Amino acid sequence: MSDQMLAPENTCRQFDIASVREDFPILRQEVNGHPLVYLDNAATTQKPNAVIDEISNYYRSYNSNVHRGAHHLSDKATSHFEAARERISKFVNSPKASQVIWTRGTTEAVNLVASSWGRANISSGDTILVPELEHHSNIVPWQTLAIEKGAQVKPIPVSDIGEIDLAAFDALLDDSVKLVVVNHVSNALGTINPIKEIIERAHSVDAKVLVDGAQAVAHFEVDVQILDCDFYAFSGHKLYGPTGIGVLWGKESLLEAMPPYHFGGEMIESVSFSGTTFNRLPYKFEAGTPDIAGAIGLAAAVDYLCSFDRALVQKHEQDVLTYAIDLLSDISGLKRVGESSNCTGVFSFVITGTHPSDVGMLLDQQGVAVRTGHHCAQPLMERLALPGTVRASFAMYTSRQDIDKLYEALTKVLQFLV
């Protein structure tokens, strides 16, 4: 069945899946003698020409260090670098660009908050609430902080279909809760969590909320002001941008009050042996030479994604997910893991009598790239009593034909394994 062609709106580019795929050169290759079917987008997305060209152009024509050069190339690099921050600021509807802190990715953004805000605000007896479906990068920094401070990390239970249990969450909310962390979308299951409700309820006991948006920003629009979250973190490489760059967004009053986390050049106002003063936002959190090409590449990725009507991209991705759910449920012994009706981008499954890593290896032999294992969510796997799953994850360029090829490849895998 062919993908529908979605009509343009306003001045947006038409969302035509064939031409979108043309923008991603890596997709035009064979793997193990088969055309590549790339279904590992939750791990990292591929990059469109617009991003590759922008990064290449930076290195070819204006590579220079930012903020401190007294010459043309440095001025140009600085203005592109700061324009990239402005672009990301608009992308998440931040009140100010200075609330956008460049990090290496979601992991570093979470660590920044744990080390800076956490060390200054979490004390003995405090509670940090963490849903069972979090990625390790949004569990381990809080465990480490809790051990250091004599605080407690308490899991928020998740149902059998992979949804956060809001009644159980309510029961855990008391005055000891100082922080709730939650991913916007689960990387292992694709569940879209009800973060607006979670934020409102957390704020009712004066707790702060950090949202891990690593799996959300590529799939739907995020508005940090509407959400009213305190911190929002994401990675560039899951958003069609380069690796090594990500974002921590924070409320200005919180960021202003937070101490620096890394120390060195760029983050200072003045240094002397009698004492050092720190730079203003966002620079006080950006010690050392930043990933200039990464920031510029990420802004190009956001420009690329936003050149389409995002509602149409989302509609296309939902169509692919629904198609996968319908088609793959035909496969004997296949069980979808995470059956919330509110999901995006991920089809996680197990097949009776097979091990996920065997399935993944045999799919790879047919050119189909998926991820297998615990997906850095071991507490979730423990909760669901699974050693791991096979995860097929989708992006804007995933087509129904990709799902057909996954189906065919799985049928062959089963002839071999079962």
Residue type, 397: Y
Residue in the structure block whose two tokens are 């009140």: 95
Helix, strand or coil for residue 314?
A: helix
Residue in the structure block whose two tokens are 């035509």: 16
CB of 418 to ligand PMP, least distance (A): 30
Helix, strand or coil for residue 10?
A: coil
Q: Which of 139, 151 has the CB closer to ligand PMP?
A: 139
CB of 18 to ligand PMP, least distance (A): 28
Under a CB-based contact definition with an 8 Å cutoff, are residues 395 and 352 in contact?
no
CB of 272 to ligand PMP, least distance (A): 36
Q: Which of 395, 410 has the CB closer to ligand PMP?
A: 395
**What residues have CB less than 8 Å from 167, skipping those under 6 apart?**
none
Q: Which of 85, 135 has the CB closer to ligand PMP?
A: 135
The rounded radius of gyration (Å) of the Cα atoms in the chain is 22
Handedness of CA 105, 107, 113, 115 (dihedral sign): negative
Q: Which of 46, 215 has the CB closer to ligand PMP?
A: 215
Residue in the structure block whose two tokens are 């690796």: 243
- Separation CA 183–CA 164 (nearest Å): 11
- Separation CA 21–CA 18 (nearest Å): 5
232 forms bridges with which residues in the sheet?
211, 249
Q: Which of 210, 214 has the CB closer to ligand PMP?
A: 214
Under a CB-based contact definition with an 8 Å cutoff, are residues 396 and 305 in contact?
yes
CB of 239 to ligand PMP, least distance (A): 10
Handedness of CA 233, 237, 241, 245 (dihedral sign): positive
User: Which residues contact ligand PMP (rule: CB under 6 A)?
Assistant: 42, 105-107, 135, 137-138, 183, 187, 212, 214-215, 235, 376
Q: Which of 78, 398 has the CB closer to ligand PMP?
A: 398
- Clarify whether 12 is annotated catalytic: no
Per-residue 3-state assignment (H helix, E strand, C coil) for 261-295: CCCCCCCEEEEECCEEEECCCCHHHCCCCCCHHHH
CB of 135 to ligand PMP, least distance (A): 4
Q: Which one from 12, 229, 343, 376 is the annotated catalytic residue?
A: 376
CB of 263 to ligand PMP, least distance (A): 22
**What residues have CB less than 8 Å from 19, skipping those under 6 apart?**
none
Active site residues: 376
